[in-house]
């Protein structure tokens, strides 16, 4: 289990307290220079951490480099997988699936968020496009074969899933719950613009500033 963090003290404790209950799960937090209590919370729970420059792609690769298992599961700190995700991932790999992701639900169960979650599940199922808030798993062998994550500061998960889907279609397993952080409306619309600009070739480093502005929109 590899979790990239940067100032995640508001979420990381709840996530880790659930994960430490999962048997036979190696947990690695790859931090990008947090100045809040993120690392202190990890230490208090006995979690292994690696630290380096900020940038999720770079952090995820560092976490994978520190991992000892043959299956990697990458997840953002503001999401929380159901416990049955882990045996389902192991079963999927045993059946020959080398990568996949979880379906997504939101902590706020409104019609709007149910529709967004349904669209996310359909996208993953039919296009094998997955994001870190869903959770992405892959075998160590496939991770190495595709060269890991591109070391983008942003949209590294989208680019990584594109690398993986060139090898095979994603396997979809049990859901991960994402905690709502920001208002819906304009945020969702602008995030679709970010994805479009990325597909059109705008560098992730340029899109990051736009994204950080979007997160403040209600």
3-state per-residue secondary structure call for 111-165: HHHHHHHHHHHHHHHHHCCCCCCCCEEEEHHHHHHHCCCCCCCCCHHHHHHHHHH
Buried/exposed code over 90-105 (b: 16+ C-beta within 10 A; e: otherwise): eebbeeebbbbbbbbb
Kindly report the pTM of this predicted structure.
0.86
Q: What is the set of domains in the chain, with CATH numbers?
A: 2-181 (3.90.550.10), 183-218 (no CATH)
Q: What is the pLDDT of residue 183?
A: 56
**Residues pairing with 105 in the sheet:** 177
C-alpha angle 158-159-161 in degrees, rounded to nearest 5 = 65
pLDDT in tens, the chain (218 residues): 999 999 999 999 999 999 999 999 999 999 999 999 999 999 999 999 999 999 999 999 999 999 999 999 999 999 999 989 999 999 999 999 999 999 988 877 788 888 888 888 888 889 999 999 899 999 999 999 999 999 988 889 999 999 999 999 999 997 877 765 555 555 666 677 777 787 788 887 777 776 665 443 33
Relative to beta strand 99-106, strand 171-178 is: parallel
Q: Report pLDDT for 218.
A: 32
pLDDT of residue 153: 80
In order, the DSSP letters of 69-81 are SSEEEE--TTEEE
C-alpha to C-alpha distance for 134 and 178, rounded to whole angstroms: 8
Give the SS3 label for residue 191.
helix
């Amino acid at each position: 289990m590899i979790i990239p963090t940067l100032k995640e003290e508001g979420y990381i404790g709840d996530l880790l307290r659930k994960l430490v209950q999962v048997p036979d799960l190696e947990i690695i937090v790859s931090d990008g220079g947090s100045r809040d209590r993120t690392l202190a919370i990890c230490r208090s729970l006995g979690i292994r951490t690696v630290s380096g420059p900020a940038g999720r792609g770079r952090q995820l690769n560092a976490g994978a480099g520190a991992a000892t298992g043959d299956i990697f599961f990458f997840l953002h700190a503001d999401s929380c997988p159901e416990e049955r995700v882990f045996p389902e991932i192991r079963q999927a790999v045993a059946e020959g699936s080398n990568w996949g992701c979880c379906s997504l639900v939101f902590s706020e169960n409104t019609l709007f968020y149910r529709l967004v979650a349904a669209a996310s599940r359909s996208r993953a199922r039919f296009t094998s496009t997955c994001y870190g808030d869903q959770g992405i798993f892959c075998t160590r062998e496939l991770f190495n074969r595709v060269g890991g994550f591109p070391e983008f500061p942003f949209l590294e998960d989208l680019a990584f899933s594109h690398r993986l889907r060139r090898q095979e279609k994603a396997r979809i397993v049990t859901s991960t719950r994402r905690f709502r952080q920001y208002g819906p409306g304009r945020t969702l619309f602008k995030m679709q613009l970010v994805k479009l600009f990325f597909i059109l070739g705008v560098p992730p480093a340029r899109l990051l500033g736009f994204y950080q502005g979007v997160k403040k929109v209600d």
